[in-house]
Amino acid sequence: MSAEELKTMCEKLIKAASAVEVGKVDRLERAVDLIKLLKKTPVTMKLLMETDAAKTLKRLSKHSNTQIATGVSGLIKNWKATVTAEASKQEAQEEKKPKLEIEVKDEDKSKADEEVVKSPTTPAAKPNTGDPQRDKLAVSLCEALAVVLGEVGEDADGLAEPSLVGISIEAAMFRKFGGMTKEYKAKYRSISFNLKDSRNPDLRRKVLSGDISPYTLLTLSSEELGSDSKREANEAIRQHMMRECERGQTTQSSTDQFKCGKCGQRKTIYYQMQTRSADEPMTTFVTCVNCNNRWKFC
Ligand SMILES: [Zn+2]
């Protein structure tokens, strides 16, 4: 698709959408068809930058007709994902081969041209990182995200294309962790597990709706990635531990090894408790018998 063609399609869509706005309901079908067509049309970062298409269509994402509004916001999300994936891919390639022979460069360029020619016949995006192992992981993320389309049913209009989002998550990971490092693999396992978790449909839906961007996803802790039910279970354990600890005051020991910072006496009682993960040191809670001052340390 050329820049001219894309521009024309955007203009047609704006025209149809404006007609709907002034009450010409019969133009709605045309507008929706154009959105669908645009969604199916493969685009490149270069094309999007040349045409400024996302900016042109942005106001339609607030159109009074929800079909148009959600359709266009989904389309723009797809485009954003395309740009993210492409930018990451480019950066990764630049980092990987800092010094290229001119000959190799030319070869790379012709390959890139081939891709552009090939892409219009490919309906959904396929990962193409040049590393089969990375591609495999990206495909797995795409498949996990594609489940959402079945889960939300008719509300799928505002969602981005799963394959594009999956690819940009993998690309973002590769970039953030500097290759297929240990951190990359650990994060991949955590993200993949939670995206596929049958009790956690919210996470994959939020990722596909753009509420959680690929970059934000990478910054979430495993607890934040987890389902609500898992979070509640963790909270329950924490509460239980607190209660146990309060009830278990008899297990307190008295010692003179701590000095109260308030009154300076050494008459204290203390107890220890595991407040963090099991492999970290316990937290010690100290109470001064003289002035009732309390403090804790790890
Ligand atoms: Zn004291």
Distance in Å, CA 269 to ligand 1 centroid: 11
CA of 294 to the centre of ligand 1 (A): 8
Question: What is the pLDDT confidence band of residue 171, given thresholds at 50, 70 and 90?
Answer: very high
> What integer pLDDT is reported at residue 241 of this predicted model?
61
80-89, 100-109, 161-170, 174-183: least confidently modelled range: 100-109
Higher-confidence residue of 7 and 82: namely: 7
Q: Is residue 117 over pLDDT 50? A: no
Q: What is the pLDDT of residue 223?
A: 78
Residues paired with residue 296 on neighbouring β-strands, in sequence order: 285
Query: Which tens digits make up the pLDDT trace of 18-27?
Result: 888 888 888 8
More confident residue, 247 or 164: 164
| Nearest one of 105, 127, 103, 104 to 115, comparing CA atoms | 127
Kindly report which listed range (8-12, 55-59, 79-83, 182-186) carries the lowest average pLDDT score. 79-83
- The token duo for 101 is 């022979």
**37-41, 150-154, 172-176, 219-223, range with greatest mean pLDDT:** 172-176
Distance 132 CA to ligand 1 centre (A): 65
Strands 283-288 and 268-273: antiparallel
Cα-to-centroid distance, 266 and ligand 1 (Å): 8
Mean pLDDT to the nearest integer, 165-178: 94
Q: Read off the pLDDT of residues 177-198 as tens digits, 9 standing for 90 and up.
A: 999 999 999 999 999 999 999 8
The domain made up of 247-297 has a fold known as N-terminal domain of TfIIb (2.20.25)
User: Cα of 270 to ligand 1 centre, how many Å?
Assistant: 13
Please say if the pLDDT value at position 98 is more than 50: no
Distance 239 CA to ligand 1 centre (A): 28
* pLDDT value at residue 108: 47
Q: What pLDDT, in 10s, does the model give residues 29-45? A: 999 999 988 888 888 87
Over residues 94-121, the mean pLDDT reads: 42
User: For every residue of the chain, which 3-state class applies, written as one string?
Assistant: CCHHHHHHHHHHHHHHHHHHHCCCHHHHHHHHHHHHHHHHCCCCHHHHHHHCHHHHHHHHHHCCCHHHHHHHHHHHHHHHHHHHHHHHHHHHHHHHCCCCCHHHHHHHHHHHHHHHHHHHHCCCCCCCCCCHHHHHHHHHHHHHHHHHHHHHHHHHHHCCCHHHHHHHHHHHHHHHCCCCCHHHHHHHHHHHHHHHCCCCHHHHHHHHHCCCCHHHHHHCCHHHHCCHHHHHHHHHHHHHHHHHHHHHHHHCEEECCCCCCCCCCCCEEEEEECCCCCCCCCEEEEEECCCCCEEEEC
Which of 203-207, 280-284, 292-296 comes out lowest in average pLDDT?
Answer: 280-284
- The class that CATH gives domain 1-115 is mainly alpha
CA 244 to ligand 1 center in whole angstroms: 25
157 closest CA partner among 54, 62, 13, 35: 35
Q: Where are the domains of the chain?
A: 1-115, 124-226, 247-297
Is residue 205's pLDDT more than 80? yes
Residue 227 near residue 199 (C-beta atoms within 8 A): yes
The answer to whether 288 touches 262, Cβ cutoff 8 Å, is yes
Helices 66-96 and 28-40, axial angle in degrees (round to 10) = 10
Give 297 Cα–ligand 1 centroid separation in angstroms.
16
Residue 106 has pLDDT above 50, yes or no: no
Structure tokens at 155: 């509300």
Give 60-71 pLDDT, tens digit per residue.
Answer: 888 888 889 989
What's the gap in Å between 298 CA and the centre of ligand 1? 19
Percent of the chain with pLDDT over 70: 79
Own/partner long-range contacts of 12-19 (Cβ < 8 Å, ≥24 apart): 13/38, 13/57, 13/60, 13/72, 14/56, 14/57, 14/60, 17/60, 17/63, 17/65, 17/68
Mean pLDDT of 134-163: 90
Say how many Å lie between the CA of residue 267 and the centre of ligand 1: 8
Range ranked top by mean pLDDT from 9-18, 108-117, 134-143, 239-248: 134-143
Closest CA to 82 of 114, 109, 122, 110: 122
